[in-house]
Structure 1
Amino acid sequence: MEASNFDGAVGGVRVATDSLDPAQRDAADVARELGVDPAVGLSSTEAARRLAADGPNELRARPPVPLWRKVLAQFQDPLVYLLLVAVAISLVAWAAEGATGPPVDAIVIAAVILLNALLGLVQEAKAENAVAALQTMTAATSTVLRDGELRTVPAAELVRGDVLVLGEGDAVGADARLLGATALRVSEASLTGESEAVTKDPATLPGPAPLGDRLDMVYKGTAVVQGVGRAVVTRTGMGTEVGAIAEMLDATAEAPSPLQREIAGVSKLLGVTVIVIAVVVMVVTAVVNQVSTLSEFVTVLLLGVSLAVAAVPEGLPAILSVVLAIGVQQMARHNAVVKKLHAVETLGSASVVASDKTGTLTKNEMTIQRIATASGQLELTGVGYRPEGAALQDGREPTDPALVHEAGLVIGGGALANDAQLALRDGEWQIQGDPTEAAFLVAAHKLEGTVERVERFERRGEVPFTSERKMMSALVDPPGEGDWALVTKGAPDVLLRRCTGLQVGEAVVPLDDARRAAALADVEALSAQAFRTLGVAYRPLPAEPRGELERAERDLVYVGVVGIIDPPRPEAAAAVAEARRAGVRVMMITGDHPTTAARIAADLGIVEPGARAVTGPELDALDEAGLRDVVSTTSVYARVAPQNKLEIVDALQAGDQVVAMTGDGVNDAPALKSADIGVAMGITGTEVTKEAAKMILGDDNFATIVAAVRQGRVIFDNIKKFLRYLLSSNMGEVFTVFLGVVLAGVIGLSGASEEAVVVPLLATQILWINLVTDSGPALAMGVDPEVDDVMARPPRRLSDRIIDRRMWRGILSIGLVMGVVTLLTMDIFLPGGLVAGSDSLEVARTAGFTTLVLAQLFNTFNSRSETTSAFRHLFANRWLWAAVLLAAALQVAIVEVPFLQTAFGTASLDLAHWAVALAMASVVLWFDEARKLLYRLRHRGRGA
């Protein structure tokens, strides 16, 4: 039978309805139509033929991105486009002048573009290497029956019709229909989100069922935790349930980050502004100076280029990349690997963190927390598989010896009727087998004397767990100490029906109706608290029992019941509280049981106690408007399919929320890719999930996400600081050039030279300011330490601009002040104008150039805050002081060193020139201090 005959079963995103779904067909019929004898398996020849026809059992891998595409991607930025235009204009002007000497302007701008591209490539390569280091290096294998023999083959070589032989600890290599199973339990958490292992049953399903309820099927990517079984492979590769999710992942679009959208908007605005101002200035200059010759036209064109260079912050792309890269490195030191630079800032803007439960908010380690017996209840402290903790009665050390004895029998009995193993490996406690059974082994260490009691017994036989019986028994023997015993654990209601006695202290009393009702009430109370319950009973047997053990599972003595739960991570509750303090909404989206999900969410502080979880089927019944309403008010979701997770994320984004989605399972991948930032678990996360995510947590710690949110907010604040600095400084250059041309006659500039067109600043001087004076301080502001508590304010809304109206007013006012003081300084030293001077054009231009440089250095301290005085925390950033002092020293060098004077068209200044330049430049600082003071006075008492 061809594979297409089974392709109607559509995967984990919806209920299978096709009549040919193998889950609804007899196993023998499935094997027959796949052309395989379950007792012999496929022949090697036939397996090779099918492998050649269908391809390897692998998910379709994305082709590696070629280097040339990675390089090209670094230039796909609006600011880079503007710089490329500036390079082209510079080359045209240089050629028009006769192409004498190197095209300095074009070379310098091109160098900035290349530097930015190199930074981006290096950072992305680092992220790829970090991700690769998290991936497993061993290829998965599967045991199959071929040519009548058991063989271990790479999972990639499985084909339709292969007979899988499954055992405890095996990874399921492909989707397969069960042929037979004994006590087979499979963990499907990575596929469905269900933390509890699923008991498999080869009996044919009566009708369509959700993925998590297809008990006669096993799926690629899941793991066997108990028992054995055989299954015939029905689908491989992209035809599996995991493949269906991968297909959905490919169809999910990836949106740009908020920072990318904002910078693109700023770049477009700058582009329009540059073009308008440059054209206006060139037209005005040509008209005022009556330009008529080619030489004069080239001068005007160069002026336009200079103005374009002045308006465009050439260093912005490189500085932005460096600041984000530094943030990435800081996060990497805290176990967060960021694959894309802009994802750092996105976390800081997150208004919702939609998190998976199992393994993310919880430890994915089943833990016994309650023991209920005839004499009362004990609470066990400690979480996970680390055997540390104690028993408490009403919050204190137990005082009732009867209760302590009964509790020891419950845990000891569960540890004896047990197939799991607990061991310390490489400093970490690890289990093998069913996590629920391992919980008894861990609990035994928390009750004094229980481990020693268990170690006295040896197992002589067992009756394994089955889905029909819902219990298992072990025949144990205390060598040389007396009779054997049959110890049984299982579903409490099933177990109680087989019990006739009740353990009370060290005595056994008849289990009458009242005592039976009390025991069932304990079970119901634990279930209402979202605990999974398991009862324990026993029966003394003769030293040499005969007959089938299953027949001995009667007249048992009921000991008690335990409450088991996958506990929250200890640090997760604090992380949730910190997120809520920051105005970030935390949501839990899981495939687990609704009661369990609501209990864990309440324990973590995500919802109030008593809140209910909305289930996947309930979401399926909603229209688009109803879904948006539910998502706006509900923070915990259970029994959801991958498509539901994707719909929740999309609904949140439609409500203008910035969504961070965390997860570790394959079923999380589409939602992770669709979210503004997807966060995958590095330890428990699947490779599909890591591929879809923008960030990977190396420690699987939810608290790391909150730390990353804080870091993202700090980075965003710092981006605003250097944007404020760069744009206000560049506006100072624009106003200097524009007003210098328009007011050339007023300030005495037009009569200072015989040239037809005289400009206040040379193109090389403007480049010097942008690339040296601007870049160093701006980069230092990008690593400014956190001054205010960034987690004490709500997240930035999508409608909020990085550069809002108030910031634009500050940028333009500071830029205008810079331009005015620069031109006034030139006027002071030029003959004529408002103030009569006696210096040459070269000296006056150098003094104005120096004033503008010093004004921008003063502006670095202004730009650290829009409202706080520059003198507050003045010395908090030593890198900023180092950058300012270095820039000042370099300015002195280009003014006073002869060969630099030639390159930049400067002349030496005496002490009086330097004093005037410094005093005029400081006006920028005092002006902004006055503006901030007025703002604080105006908003005093308003909380602003």
Structure 2
Amino acid sequence: MKATENSRATYAQSQPDAVLDQLHTTKAGLSQTEATKRLAQYGQNSITKAAESSQLKVFLKNFISLMAILLWVSGAIAILGGTLELGIAIWLVNVINGCFSFWQEHQAKKATDSLMAMLPTYTQVYRDGKRQQINAVDLVPGDVFTLQAGNAVPVDARLLEATSMQVDQSALTGESVPESKYIRYDAGEGEFAESNLVYAGTTVGAGTGLAVCYATGMHTEFGKIASLTQQQTKVLSPLQKELDRLTKQISMIAIAIGLAFFVAAIFFVHYPIAKSFIFALGMIVAFIPEGLLPTVTLSLAHGVQRMAKKHALVKDLNSVETLGETTVICSDKTGTLTQNQMTVNHIWTLAHHYDVTGQGYVNNGEIQLDGQTVDYQKDPDLDKLLRVAALNNDTTVQMADGKPKILGTPTEAALVIMAQKAKFDIDHAEKATPRLKEFPFDSDRKRMGTVHQHDDHTLSACVKGSLSDLLPQCTTVQVNGVVRPITDDDREKINAANTKYAAMGLRSLAIAYREIPLQKDLQSQLDALTIENTENQLTFVGLTVMADPPRPEIFDAVAKCHAANIKIIMVTGDSTLTAKSIAVKIGLTSDKARVVTGTELDAMSEPELQEALRGEIIFARVAPEQKYKIVSTLQENGEIVASTGDGVNDAPALKKADIGVAMGVTGTDVAKDAADMILTDDNFASIVAAIEEGRTVYANLQKFLTYILTSNVPEAIPSVLFLFSRGLIPLPMTVMQILTVDLGTDMLPALGLGAEQAEPGIMNQPPRKRTAHLMNKHVVMKAFAWYGLLASAISTFAYFFVNWQNGWPQVALFSNGNGYARATTMVLGAIVFFQIANALNCRTQFASVIKAGIFSNKRIWYGIIFEVLLLIVLTVVPFFQGLFNTTVLQASDWIFLAIIPIPVFLIEEARKAWTRHNMAAK
């Protein structure tokens, strides 16, 4: 909580003693008694999460969707209509689906909760004048605590002491270059740039410090952004909206058909009202896809499981399908598109230019440069550059589980790793030339200097820093091991090289040194050395050129997004030059892309921003609220937006976006809490895999609809024949047989379609339009006009075929007895066996099922085996024969049924081959 009404600017601009007075504390810290009082007054140093719904509410919401309500009502009507078994079966579908959905979401939430590590666990704090270790949640305003390299900053605080301190604030600002911190006030450039303030959620990269806390928990800058995030309410996902729409469509169709059949049964066939109602109920329930909710849940659950194996953890099942609809990805740069670690990729001296981009280093002190192997010990300039870079360095790099662990700044780590890869013995160099004095980096001179004892006669001053500030201090230059006076021509060449790298969006760090004769009184000499008399008359060695490199897998991921017509917009706090350089390098945009800064964004009107977002664009130097504005405007443009990020500054945009994607390794707790999906490997390529899964889920739902709606037509046609013949044609299919198909034989193969793998080429199609629907023209035509009519013709033929075998048309059609039961059983069997081929055909839209693997989806085959066994049971068990009006079929009947799937399957394979041929010809 906040201790006073002072703004952070007041704390930054006040002297340390004044800040301590304002916070009613001392440099020796608070007493334990006072700290306890303040903890009670201000609360724990933690980020308060928005209140979550009770588990009971979360559980019950799975039973009150439109489709669920429709099924509850249908079951009740069935029971009231005298078909108790039917009503119970429908209700069981609802219960099982609701429990399954709740379990899946509960498991996903448990997994995400395990990732939430919000703030540092322990902090070294002064209490009662003694330094002690406490839990970071117990920090209060006025506490004085220590910071050192590798520490996460637990609160917002004012520095009281600072030595060579640099802080990585990328989680707040998106800026990959660490901020230098010191006691005196410097406003800096951009947000959170005050030189003497540190913020919760950031990390100390180098140096040490002593700070006094002035804000904790939700009153830190970290907490304020978290609060902004929690104010955003999530709307229904596109899938939820589409399912609601589909449910309404199907409900209206089913009720209209049921009402029409009810009226027709009364006036055409002269059925009693009660009998007409049961007849109409059969039609209503027949047109309700009872398997829709289980299939949706299963499809989403399979998508979640497959994505989890690809390092993408989804918190909400509906988010899977929404990912598949994504049209725009708003992506941060640092840590998302790039690795958030500086890497040296060019070494430049006046004698040589070493391009080490993608080349790497090899053993035995040799470096592979420009395709040829060079021994750094044979190049005196390269040897000197590596030596100065290694000695003038406060960062250590340790290997942990095969990966480098950095204790310091990314920039210095890049220099250390450069030397390590070159097999330069840093430990030996440090022991042979021990550091005696240092001049920490500061933003005024933009240099760091260290003094080492080179031998018994010489001190060596090692200096690195900005070229513009270091080069004027150089009077000599080393070329091929020879030190000579620097000339104007040398300076022009050096500046030209620096300008070239800057234009590439790379960062140059100049390396220089100076040899100083050793005096007898070493300590007096060291005391007399100052920045002014040490960091001059330097010898220029060269430039180390580095960048925060793109993730290796990003190139392929970006290419896939472009192939899928998904636009990627970089939204970063980094500089315009660096942002555009990275964007062009990884293929995100062309060189013609417009770069808009945060300042320019503020000046843009809403129509101007909407128009700008329709073209190639990059956003640089943006603030958190501006990211939110970008996402909102894209949504107003009709885009479905996925926003990625790892920092606190990304959280509002993550919450606002249709899909928020947070980084699981480097991401802050607020970002993870706001996101719909967490990448457990921080790999942008996992987003592409997730989008593919989302598209697969949607495609599978359409396959399910095509399959399930197909059987509605042959179920309805026999009833139409019955009605239009005014009852002269006995009902070819009873209500219970219709329900057998819907709730029995069709269910498992339909669920199998929900687990179908991605069809080849699914990522070469554009995202579906927001105006598109699950039950579109293609699905309706395929289910009703093609498959449905074909199934109706076959099943109707089976009905009359049995009657023909028994003398029709010379004798009347069966209206009762075993002959009638055999005829209706054949209709039921014909639909079941037609659906066997239909299930296989629906697995792909364009690809050959044979090529995809006829037996690759075992769930469909389990469903097929189940429906055939169920049909056999219904025809041979006396109890079921009476309930479903079935009978034992003859051998010829089974042969007839077994032949049905073969031509149906082959005809569809031929149609798909023709379609593929036409698509290839375009």
TM over 0.5: yes
Point out the more displaced range, 129-138 or 314-323: 129-138
Q: How does 1:818-857 map to 2 (within 5 A)?
A: 818-829=791-802, 836=811, 837=813, 840-857=819-836
Would you say the 8 A contact 2:737–2:828 is kept in 1?
yes
CA deviation vs aligned residue, 1:470-492 (integer Å, no higher than 9, x gap) = 22222223567x53312122222
CA distance in 2, matches of 1:816, 1:393: 70
The question of whether the paired residues in 2 share the 8 Å contact of 1:457 and 1:477 is answered with: yes
Q: Are the aligned partners of 1:412 and 1:450 in contact in 2 as well (CA < 8 Å)?
A: no
Indicate conservation of the 8 Å contact 2:120/2:154, yes or no. Answer: no
One-letter amino acid matched to 1:854: F
Report whether the alignment pairs 1:778 with 2:750: yes
* Residues 378-411 of structure 1 deviation map (CA, whole Å, 9 limit, x = unaligned): 1224599999997455454459998x32122112
Letter of the 1:683 counterpart: V
Say whether 1:72 aligns with 2:60: yes
AA at the equivalent of 1:695: M
The Cα shift of 1:559 comes to 1.3
Q: Which aligned pairs between 1:471-482 and structure 2 lie closer than 5 A?
A: 471-478=447-454
Tell me, in whole angstroms, the C-alpha distance in 2 between the residues paired with 1:138 and 1:248: 19
**Which structure 1 segments of 5+ residues have no match?**
10-19, 95-101, 750-758
| Contact 1:368/1:564, CA 8 A, preserved across alignment | yes
1:151 aligns with 2:151: no
Instruction: Please report how far the alpha carbon of residue 186 of structure 1 lies from its aligned counterpart in structure 2 after TM superposition.
Output: 0.9
1:780, distance to aligned residue in structure 2 (A): 2.3
**Contact 1:175–1:241, Cα closer than 8 Å, also in 2:** yes
Specify the alignment match of 2:410 in structure 1: 435
Check 1:819–1:400 CA distance in 2 against 1; reply closer, same or farther (3 A cut): closer
Cα deviation for residue 908 of structure 1 reads 1.5
Q: In structure 2, the residue corresponding to 1:122 is in which secondary structure?
A: helix
Matched, 1:706 2:688: yes
> Is 2:486 the partner of 1:515?
no
Query: Which residue, 576, 582, 602 being the options, matches 1:620?
Result: 602
Alignment of 1:275-286 (within 5 A): 275-286=255-266
1:690 paired with 2:672, answer yes
Map of 1:644 onto structure 2:
626
SS, match of residue 511 in structure 2: strand
Does 2:158 align with 1:177?
yes
Task: Specify which of 375, 390, 396 is matched with residue 415 of structure 1.
Answer: 390
Shift of 1:118: 1.9
Give the letter aligned to residue 156 of structure 1.
Answer: V
Q: Give the secondary structure class of the aligned counterpart of 2:665.
A: coil
Distance 2:718 2:528 in 1: 100
Letter in 2 for 1:519: I
Matched, 1:376 2:352: yes
Aligned partners of 1:135, 1:741: CA distance in 2, in Å?
63
Cα gap change, 1:138/1:214 in structure 2, threshold over 3 Å: closer, same or farther? closer
Change beyond 3 A, Cα 1:309–1:704: same
- Rounded to whole Å, the distance in 1 between the matches of 2:468 and 2:547 is 19
The number of residue pairs the alignment matches comes to 906
- Which residue of 2 is the match for residue 593 of structure 1? 575
The change in CA–CA distance for 1:932 and 1:578 in structure 2 (over 3 A counts) is: closer
Residue 249 of structure 1 aligns with an amino acid whose one-letter code is: T
Match of 2:5 in 1: 5
SS in 1 for 2:556: helix
Q: Which residue type is aligned with residue 538 of structure 1? A: Y
Say which SS state the counterpart of residue 553 (structure 2) adopts. helix
2:714 maps to a residue whose letter is G
The answer for the alignment partner of 1:216 in structure 2 is: 196
Partner amino acid, structure 2, of 1:671 = A
Letter in 1 for 2:67: L
Residue equivalent to 2:317? 341
Give, in whole Å, the separation in 1 of the partners of 2:361 and 2:675: 29
Q: Which amino acid aligns with 1:847?
A: M
Show CA shifts across 1:11-39 (max 9, x none).
xxxxxxxxx753455554443232223x2
Equivalence for 1:33? 22
Corresponding residue number in structure 1 for 2:245: 265
C-alpha contact (below 8 Å) 1:142/1:153 kept by paired residues: yes
Q: For residues 383 and 659 of structure 1, do their structure 2 counterparts lie closer, same or farther at Cα, with a shift above 3 Å needed?
A: farther
- Residue of 427, 439, 443 corresponding to 1:467: 443
Q: Which amino acid aligns with 2:515?
A: P
My pick for the range that moved more, 213-222 or 457-466, is 457-466
Q: Distance in 2 between matches of 1:727 and 1:905?
A: 24
Cα deviation, 1:550-570, whole Å, max 9, x if unaligned, reads: 243332222122112111111
| CA pair 790-648 structure 1, distance change in 2 beyond 3 A | same
Q: What pairs up with 1:227-626 in 2 under 5 angstroms?
A: 227-290=207-270, 296-382=272-358, 391=367, 393-398=369-374, 404-447=379-422, 449=424, 451=426, 454-455=429-430, 456-478=432-454, 483-543=458-518, 545=522, 546=525, 547-550=527-530, 551-609=533-591, 611=593, 613-626=595-608
Q: What pairs up with 1:785-796 in 2 under 5 angstroms?
A: 785-796=757-768
Q: Is the 8 A contact 1:669 1:689 kept in 2?
A: yes
Q: Aligned partners of 1:243, 1:553: CA distance in 2, in Å? A: 43
CA distance, structure 1, for counterparts of residue 660 and residue 885 of structure 2? 52
Question: For residues 319-374 of structure 1, what are the alpha-carbon distances to aligned partners after superposition, in whole Å with 9 as ceiling and x for unaligned?
Answer: 22112211211121121112222222222222222211111111111111122222
Q: Is residue 2:738 matched to residue 1:766?
A: yes
Q: 2:23 corresponds to which letter in structure 1?
A: L
Q: Given the superposition, is the C-alpha separation of residues 668 and 438 from structure 1 closer, same or farther in structure 2, using an over 3 Å criterion?
A: same
Q: Percent identity?
A: 35
* Structure 1 residue 818: Cα displacement: 3.2
Q: Is the CA contact 1:535–1:562 (under 8 Å) kept in the aligned structure 2?
A: yes
Shift of 1:764: 3.4
CA contact (8 A) 2:155 2:199 kept: yes
Q: Please say if residues 861 and 870 of structure 1, whose CA atoms lie closer than 8 Å, have aligned partners that are also in contact.
A: yes
Contact 2:152 2:202 in 1 (8 A): yes
Deviation at 1:447, TM superposition (A): 3.1
State the distance in 2 between where 1:900 and 1:734 align.
23
Q: What do you get for the CA RMSD once the two structures are aligned?
A: 3.1
| Structure 2 Cα separation of the partners of residues 768 and 843 of structure 1 | 16
Does the aligned pair in 1 maintain the 2:330–2:643 contact within 8 Å?
Answer: yes
Is the 1:807–1:866 Cα contact (8 Å) retained in structure 2?
no
What is the CA–CA distance in structure 1 between the aligned matches of 2:52 and 2:857, rounded to whole Å? 42
Deviation at 1:590, TM superposition (A): 1.0
Q: Per-residue CA shift, 1:731-782, capped at 9, x if unaligned?
A: 43234444434435242x1xxxxxxxxx544443233212332122222223
Deviation of 1:858 (Å) = 2.9
User: How far 1:75 moved relative to its partner?
Assistant: 1.8
> Residue type matched to 1:815 in 2?
G
The verdict on how the C-alpha distance between 1:322 and 1:387 changes in structure 2, with shifts beyond 3 A counting, is farther
Contact 1:181 1:202 (C-alpha < 8 Å) held by counterparts: yes
Q: Tell me what 1:51 maps to.
A: 39
Equivalent residue for 1:631, pick from 613, 620, 640 = 613
Residue segments in structure 2 that go unaligned for 5+ positions in a row = none
TM-score computed with the length of structure 1 as normaliser: 0.89
- Mapped to 2, the partners of 1:585 and 1:867 lie a distance apart of 26
Out of 48-57 and 895-904, give the one that drifted further. Answer: 895-904
Moved more, 730-739 or 458-467: 730-739
User: Given the two structures, how large is their TM-score scaled by the length of structure 2?
Assistant: 0.91
What secondary structure is seen at the aligned counterpart in 2 of 1:227?
A: strand
Among 724, 729, 744, the alignment partner of 2:711 is: 729
Mapped to 2, the partners of 1:226 and 1:942 lie a distance apart of: 59
Q: Is the 8 A contact 1:2 1:34 kept in 2?
A: no
Query: Contact 1:74–1:121 at 8 Å: present in 2 too?
Result: yes
SS in structure 2 of the partner of residue 419 of structure 1 = coil
* 1:736/1:118 CA distance change after superposition, 3 Å: farther
Aligned residues of 2:360 and 2:368 also touching (Cα < 8 A): no
The one-character-per-residue Cα deviations of 1:834-871 (angstroms, maximum 9, x if unpaired) are 67455543232222222222222232234345567777
* Secondary structure at 2:442 match in 1: coil
Comparing 827-836 with 441-450, greater Cα deviation is found at 827-836
- Conserved? CA contact 2:361–2:422, under 8 Å: no
Deviates more, 1:154-163 or 1:782-791: 782-791
